[in-house]
Amino acid sequence: MRALYPPIAPYRQHLVAADALHTLHVEECGRPDGIPVVFLHGGPGAGASPTHRRFFDPARYRIVLIDQRGSGRSTPFGELRDNTTAHLVGDIETVRAHLGIDRWLVFGGSWGSTLALAYAQAHPERATGLILRGVYLGRAEENRWFNEADGGARWLFPERWARYAAHIPADEHGSLIEAYWRRLDGPDQAARIAAAQAWLGWEDHAATLVHDVDAVSSADPLDTLAKARIEAHYFRHHAFLQHGQLLRDIDRIRHLPAVIVQGRYDIICPPRSAWDLACAWPEARLEMVVAGHSANEPATTDALVRATDAFAGRGAG
């Protein structure tokens, strides 16, 4: 099985003004004259990490990683104003133009798959192809599956669900996303942080096929709060997309080569979404692997690295 490429450092970093409020942190890795690829991180709100550079052969790719608005090293950190999917799509174009790239391969996992599809459909002439992992289409039923009391995920990870649900009084369980949002956006900082830790304690520890049901995150509380607030902000607005939009507009990108890698036992972004996408986009290649949600599980890493190598072999265009 293929593993990640060795660790690398950026050869260049940028601060790109997206508008009067937001500044994006962007890094370039690999080969300056290589095949351009943009990596779109998950969350929303998670930020790019050094591991994300390693899905690509640095001898063949010019790897661009963007910390999305409010995320990672972009500023203002955790900012929700002017932070929607349309803004993020515009930011990708701003970065592409800033770097002088004509067209690039678009790679995104989890929320990054949503953003990759939205970007490519808005600017199909700028994409050479797509690699998607852990597909999330921003639909209400996907949010309900994982975050609401009438969803299905609670039946599979009951220990973790019990902690997530217990943070909210039973009379508010009709909409847990909204109940969490009220606490994440409330005036009490300690209550905000506690809600964020409960929110991400459910998500982060449901990401792998094998996991410790009692594991506790050691993440910085303020980082946890920023990510949870951005996620809840997007989820309660259904990713700022019309229902079914990404499937409805698939004809805009069906001419582009695409690989969809999906964990068969992904609890966070269940396989039905990847299946629905593949049915609407029969030209794309869907590869189901024995894994959960995380890109770092061996079968998923293997499939993603094989995909990036295959695109590099064809020049990604």
Which residue in the list 71, 110, 113, 273 is annotated as catalytic? 110
Q: 76: cis peptide before it, omega within 30°? A: yes
- Tell me the sheet residues that pair with 66: 26, 40
Pairing assessment for the beta strands 104-109 and 35-40 based on DSSP bridges:
parallel
Which residue in the list 57, 67, 204, 266 is annotated as catalytic? 266
What is the rounded end-to-end Cα distance, in angstroms, of the chain? 25
Compute how many other C-beta atoms are within 10 angstroms of the C-beta atom of residue 222.
14
The rounded distance, in Å, linking the Cα atoms of 156 and 117 is 29
The rounded distance, in Å, linking the Cα atoms of 126 and 106 is 9
Whether 78 contacts 230, CB under 8 Å: yes
The rounded distance, in Å, linking the Cα atoms of 136 and 276 is 11
The rounded distance, in Å, linking the Cα atoms of 21 and 18 is 8
Would you mind telling me the total number of residues written for the chain in this entry? 317
> Closest Cα partner for 116 from 183, 66, 61?
66
Cβ neighbours of residue 279 under 8 Å, at least 6 residues apart? none
The rounded distance, in Å, linking the Cα atoms of 313 and 161 is 43
- 31, with CB counted inside 10 A (0-12, 13-18, 19+), is middle
Task: Mark whether 266 is an active-site residue.
Answer: yes
> Closest Cα partner for 134 from 155, 117, 111?
111
The rounded distance, in Å, linking the Cα atoms of 176 and 232 is 10
Which residue in the list 25, 52, 123, 293 is annotated as catalytic? 293
Task: Mark whether 110 is an active-site residue.
Answer: yes
Helices (H), 205-284: 221-235, 245-248, 271-280
The set of catalytic residues is 110, 266, 293
